[in-house]
Structure 1
Amino acid sequence: MITGVTKGIKVSVETNYQPEHSQPAHEHFVFTYRITIENNSNNTVQLKARHWDILDAAHPSHEVDGEGVVGKQPVLEPGEIHQYVSGCNLRSGIGKMKGYYIMERIIDGRLFNVEIPEFLMVVPFKLN
């Protein structure tokens, strides 16, 4: 598990290769990632948007921006946790992602970025 903390917001990431949804012969490798966001600050916050930088080892990198995460813009009171699962398709079977969430501090509407720590996605048979 990879973990980072920004302004009291802890972000942890776990990845899994999904062989049953992948087709290596067609350069199609599917990974899921579980993200846990924990509000260890003294303020209520809302996740407004996300930004991803995705690097596929043998292909051009790309960026993804959007509102919320998996269709939600969760509000986290101090001490609360939000967890979700999403996925990424790679063509090479080796890649990495990193990014940030745009959070809003509810008390004053102030926006701030929370880093999503860089994590690797590697098909197990490519580790040999």
Structure 2
Amino acid sequence: MSDLVHDVTVTVEPEYREDESSPQEDRYVFSYTVTVYNAAAQSLQLLSRYWKITQGHGKVQEVRGNGVVGKQPVIAAGHSFRYTSRAVLECPVGVMQGSYTCIDPATQETFEVAIAPFRLAGPHQVH
């Protein structure tokens, strides 16, 4: 999803982690790699994150926190920041979506960058 005002694109690549999951214990682990691309003419800093995780059986979890993977990266104009994180679900299917709160260091203006919903699906699940 792209934020047209600030020209930021977020892409997410989810992956089921079979080696870390235990279906018999209702533990399904997913990694997701996020790339935040700043196509704007000025740098931005990613301050905080918000995730809404909806599991296949309907349970919803919301996660808020400063930065991502322990960092509040400054992303220069024309550059990207990439990181990988994890989510643990109780069922083999879910959906994540959310947003980042960013700031323009020059103007101190904060803005939200939406992260479009993406599917988490374990083995033998319809994609």
TM-score by length of 2: 0.95
- Which amino acid in 2 is paired with 1:97? M
- Which amino acid in 2 is paired with 1:19? E
Tell me the equivalent position of 2:29: 30
Q: Structure 2 unaligned segments of length 5 or more: list them.
A: none
1:62: how far off? 1.3
Tell me the equivalent position of 1:104: 103
Tell me the equivalent position of 1:95: 94
1:125: how far off? 1.4
Paired residues in the alignment total 125
Q: What SS does structure 2 have at the residue aligned with 1:124?
A: coil
More off after superposition, 55-64 vs 27-36: 55-64
- Counterpart CA distance in 2 for 1:23 and 1:107 is 47
TM-score by length of 1: 0.94
Q: Structure 1 unaligned segments of length 5 or more: list them.
A: none
Deviations 1:86-124 (A, max 9, x none): 000111110010000000001110000001111000112
Deviations 1:18-62 (A, max 9, x none): 000000011000000000001001121000000011101114201
Q: What SS does structure 1 have at the residue aligned with 2:19?
A: helix
Q: Stretches of 4+ moved more than 4 A in 1?
A: none
